[in-house]
Each structure stands twice: as structure tokens, then as C-alpha cells.
Amino acid sequence: MAAWRHVLVTGASSGLGRALALACSGEGAVLHLGGRDAVRLEAVAEACRAAGATALPQRVDVRDAAAMAGWIAGAGRLDLVIANAGISAGTGGAVEPASVARAVFETNVTGVLNTVLPALETMAAQTPGPDGWRGRVAVVASVAAFVAAPGAPAYCASKAAVQRWAEALDATERRRGIRLHAVCPGYIRTLMTARNAFPMPLMMEPEEAARRMLAGIAAGRTRIAYPWPLYAAARLAGSLPPGLRAAAFSRFPAKGLD
């Protein structure tokens, strides 16, 4: 079991969210698991219960601010909240449709706000835990936050927004006894990446990605970016002049529309 007894995870029905839920399972753990697919979410909850945890699935859409606020407020104590829910989309080699850009920002940015803001208010009213903090919030961004890839403008921008917001917020929320962590993983083998038609070096299994994330949180790192060679490559690509970067990325297939 991870170091935190009371954990809330969004996007917990599959992929990284499922792996995080299982990694946090164990005797005494209380897991609040959010997702839109009730059947898959219940299957994850059953797996967590088999590992000894109390698992409480909740069918919820992170875009619904009122529903998220109600769910989080009713969860009780929260030692760790992981804002993991997100979607991926790109241009498909053409122009990114307005509907796609809006959908990506509504889930990846507004959905994170709808998760983190009520969680912070809950945590601020809690007594500190054994580690001395009232609570921790992990925002799942991506190494894509560090490079403006022309094939996925909304996705890269949305991940950059939440990565920078979490890192900036950590400095001020420490005064209230709360830690923020910006998690920037590389490629993870999920249904989301299965649609990508371009090379995905250093692909990780969800379990490995979850392990690295939780280890970084436990170590108190504000930015948790991995694997480091891909993170370094993203930082390098992000530092290129926009024209040169666009020319380089034009040699690879663009991320699909959904």
C-alpha cells in the first residue's frame, strides 16, 4: 500500500488511473475512484477491494463543477488527490477542429480545476497527517507540456497550463500545509496511446508509470517528469525556434483527432 490512507483518483476506470488505484490499495486504504464508465469503474473497485482496500466508485464527469464539488466535499478526509482524468487529441494532419480544442481544454484544464480547487478547501480544514502535511494534490500533465507540437496544439497547451499552474500553486499552498505535484510522464501503454501512429520511444506500462509517480510524490518533488531521456528531449525540442520545430515535427504523423 502507498503511504496515504485516504486517496481520490479521477479517470480511475482504466490506464494510468487504474494502475494508481491498485498501487494505492491495501489494508486500511480508503479509495474514492471517479470515472465516466460505471462498469469499468466497478471492476477497478473490485480489484482494489481484493487487495484489502475500501473502494468507493463514483460515476462522475470532471467537467461538471457542481458534481465534482459535491463528490469531493462528501469524501471526508483526503490525504492524496490525483487529478488524472484527461483526453488526448490532435489535428489528424489537418486543422484542429474548434470542437476538439474546446473538448480538450474542458477536460484537461477545466476538469483539473474542478478537481483541485474543492480538494484544496477540504485539505485546508484537515489536521496534518503523519508526514506533517494536511494533504497532497498531484496533477497529471505530460512531457508534452514542454514542447508545442504542431500536431497536437490543444493537448500540449492544456498540459502546459496545468503543469505550470500546479508548480506555481505549490509555493503558496505550502503556507496552508498542502503540497502540489506536477506529474509529467512520457508515453504510457493505454487505449489513448494505442491510437497514435507516430513513434513513441521509452513506452511505459501503466504500473511502472504509477510507481514512478507515487515515488516522486513521496519524495516531495514538485515536478515529477519521467523517463528522463524523453523529458530532456522534450525540453530540447521546446527550446527550438518555432519554425524549426514545426519543420522537424512535420516529418512525423500527427496525433489523431480522438
Cβ(165)–Cβ(154) below 8 Å? no
155 is catalytic: yes
SS3 27: coil
Q: Which three cell numbers stand for residue 130?
A: 503523519
The residue annotated as part of the active site, out of 155, 187, 226, 231, is 155
CA atoms within 13 A on the CB side of 211: 6
Backbone angles phi, psi at 132, to 5 degrees: 90, -5
Query: Does the bond joining 227 to the residue before it have cis omega, within 30 degrees of 0?
Result: yes
DSSP codes of every residue in 185-225: E--B-STTGGG--S--TT-B-HHHHHHHHHHHHHTT-SEEE
Sign of CA dihedral 41, 46, 50, 53: positive
| Enzyme catalytic residues | 155
